[in-house]
Amino acid sequence: MPQRIAEQSPILLLIDDAPNIHRLLAVKLKDEGIDFLAALSGEEGLQLATSHQPSLILLDINMPDLDGFEVLLRLKNEPSTMEIPVIVLSSAHDSELKVRAFELGAMDYVCKPFDVPELRARIQSAIRLTRLMRLLEHRAQIDSLTGLWNRAHLNKRLEAEINQASRKKTPLSFVMCDLDHFKKLNDTLGHPAGDLALQTFAKILQEQIRDYDTACRYGGEEFAIILPNTPVSEAVGVCERIRQAAEVASWRKYPDMNITASFGVSDRPIEGREDAQGWIEAADRTLYAAKQAGRNRVLAFSETPPDSKSDSKSDKSDAPRVRLAS
């Protein structure tokens, strides 16, 4: 479930081959609430940037072996470090060098010898901007009605979990579910009742899953759940608990309202598709089969592959064989 961005000390990585610069900044920034990382070469700096994901990098241009421009280029070409802001440090005042640094993705350019209070202000400004950007990115991945992660987050998270499960040879289950006859509920009791139903179901999801599971609002009345380290039999049990909790939910404001949900559980993608979309398709087709079988039930993707090789979502006749959760 969505979590607040942890309030932790920002990490500053200084990549500079001059030890005196490291000593100077370590002393001058010791009261700034910043954790300090030091690299004396470009290669060491790249390794620390990847492993520690610093909040900001101070990068000297004039270094032997691997100069700052090459380091900057590699930082910005690597997905895991490309978003880390970089302030370039250089003794050169040449405007062409400044332009090159900005073209490669530097946030700022500071000339040596630098004024420490000015550099301190630039560092704090860069860290504040980074925090703001990360906060905005975090909020952009949360569904405003339910407070769950949204579909944009789901796509990234599912891909990451698939890769990890493949590397570690651990089980992974993926669930698609939605509220039954939701349009009828909206038409009969109104959209405020529908919103309350979605919010309550989202709360039930959060209560029934573990901290490292991921629940998302996929769209409309449809939800998705990622269950790492979970074989399909256990995932069916989780969904059954969610189904039962939704079925018995009471509604003080709408005493005549009741909701049920249908679930499609998969522990693999459709045949021929190993990516996240393949997993979504498998669970979605199984969900469709659950609804065709009468709704308010949990169905699991069968070990027996579907007869049809087609993966066209528009043709529901090729839905996979499923088994009813016991």
Contact indicator for 292, 274 with CB cutoff of 8 Å = no
Q: Which of 7, 161, 221, 240 is catalytic?
A: 221
221 tagged catalytic: yes
Distance CA 39, CA 48 (A): 8
Going edge to edge, which strands form the sheet with 172-179? 214-219, 222-228, 172-179, 261-266, 298-301, 322-324
DSSP per-residue codes, 112-139 = SSPPHHHHHHHHHHHHHHHHHHHHHHHH
**DSSP strand pairing (172-179 vs 222-228):** antiparallel
Helix (H, G, I), strand (E, B) or coil at 98: helix
Phi, psi of 50 (to 5 degrees): -70, -45
Distance CA 127, CA 107 (A): 11
CA R_g for the chain: 26
Contact indicator for 87, 124 with CB cutoff of 8 Å = no
Alpha helices per DSSP H over the chain: 19-28, 42-52, 68-77, 95-103, 116-139, 151-168, 182-189, 191-208, 232-247, 276-292
Phi, psi of 131 (to 5 degrees): -60, -45
Helix (H, G, I), strand (E, B) or coil at 60: strand
Contact indicator for 267, 202 with CB cutoff of 8 Å = no
Active site residues: 221
